[in-house]
Amino acid sequence: MSADYGLDPRRVDPEYDRHGGFPVFEAAQPGPGFERFLTAMRRAQDLAVSADPDAGTWEKAADLAEELVALLDPHEAREGVGPANRVPTLPGAGSLLMPPWTVRKFEPDGVELEVRFSRFHVGGNYAVHGGVLPLLFDSIFGMVIHATGRPISRTAFLHVDYRKVTPIDTVLTARGWLREEQGRKGFVNAELRDPDGNLLAEANGLMLRLLAGQP
């Protein structure tokens, strides 16, 4: 592998910040209310897929959900403006789309996260839905590309091998690294392990550097 980890990607690609109109994501500081909101919403997601109240309670829940939508709807912003996915100190960088991961290592030789799945992520028999893991791995792949200083890339393919059932309510470790570079191509690997070091799933993929004008 011939990676130059100290290289600013803008030296390789002067159009780095302008490919496909990608916004420049800078860290946001939305205030403590946003963290409280995310915490409550993550719990609401869990309850939305697990609660079984009476009909009257569902009516009240619907009223509150509609009230929340009405409160936030006038403030919908374009990508890269709202705080979601732009608060590195919060689980999942502040995005409800992402599993609640926390970055433990972000270096050119690899990225490491801690992640704890919950009831919201269950596919069946209290195991994490298989479709959630590619989302996690794809996020790791993007972090790896950024950590190594490679230019903006998109996922060309992502392959996942499921080795064991992934549990919820358990702190797991996910790791990702750049395996090889070939011009525009960055070949990446990732794995997910339980607290005992057992391999739960592993992935490999290709991250392809965008050309000028590619979205």
**Residue 179 included in any domain:** yes
Residue by residue, DSSP assigns 81-133 as: TSSTT--TTSGGGG-TTS--EEEEEEETTEEEEEEE--GGGEEETTEE-TTHH
Adjacent-strand bridge partners of 168: none
pLDDT at 93: 94
Residue 66 lies inside a defined structural domain of this protein: yes
DSSP secondary structure code for residue 55 in this structure: H
pLDDT at 69: 98
Q: Is residue 161 part of a domain?
A: yes
- Structural domain contains residue 3: no
Q: Is 169 left (phi over 0), alpha (psi -120 to 50) or beta?
A: left
Is 40 part of a structural domain of the chain?
A: yes
**Residue span of the structural domain in which 76 resides:** 10-209
Say how far apart CA 151 and CA 13 lie, in whole Å.
7
Per-residue pLDDT at 8: 55
> Which pLDDT value is given to residue 4?
37
Q: Is residue 34 in a domain?
A: yes
Q: What is the predicted pLDDT for the residue at 169?
A: 97
Question: Is 135 in contact with 117 (CB distance < 8 Å)?
Answer: no
Q: How far is CA 208 from the centre of its chain?
A: 18
Q: Which residues contact 95 (CB under 8 A, 6 or more apart)?
A: 84, 85
Residue type, 74: P
pLDDT tens for the chain, residues 1 to 215: 333 334 455 655 566 655 555 556 678 888 889 999 999 999 999 999 999 999 999 999 999 999 999 999 999 998 889 999 999 999 999 999 999 999 999 999 999 999 999 999 999 999 999 999 999 999 999 999 999 988 889 999 999 999 999 999 999 999 999 999 999 999 999 999 999 999 999 999 999 988 776 76
Quick check: helix, strand or coil at residue 181? strand
Query: Does residue 4 lie in a domain region?
Result: no
Query: How many independent structural domains does the chain possess?
Result: 1
Say what the pLDDT of residue 24 is: 63
pLDDT for the residue 2 = 33
The H-or-E segment that residue 178 falls in is strand 171-182
Q: Is residue 56 part of a domain?
A: yes
For residue 84, the domain's CATH number is 3.10.129.10
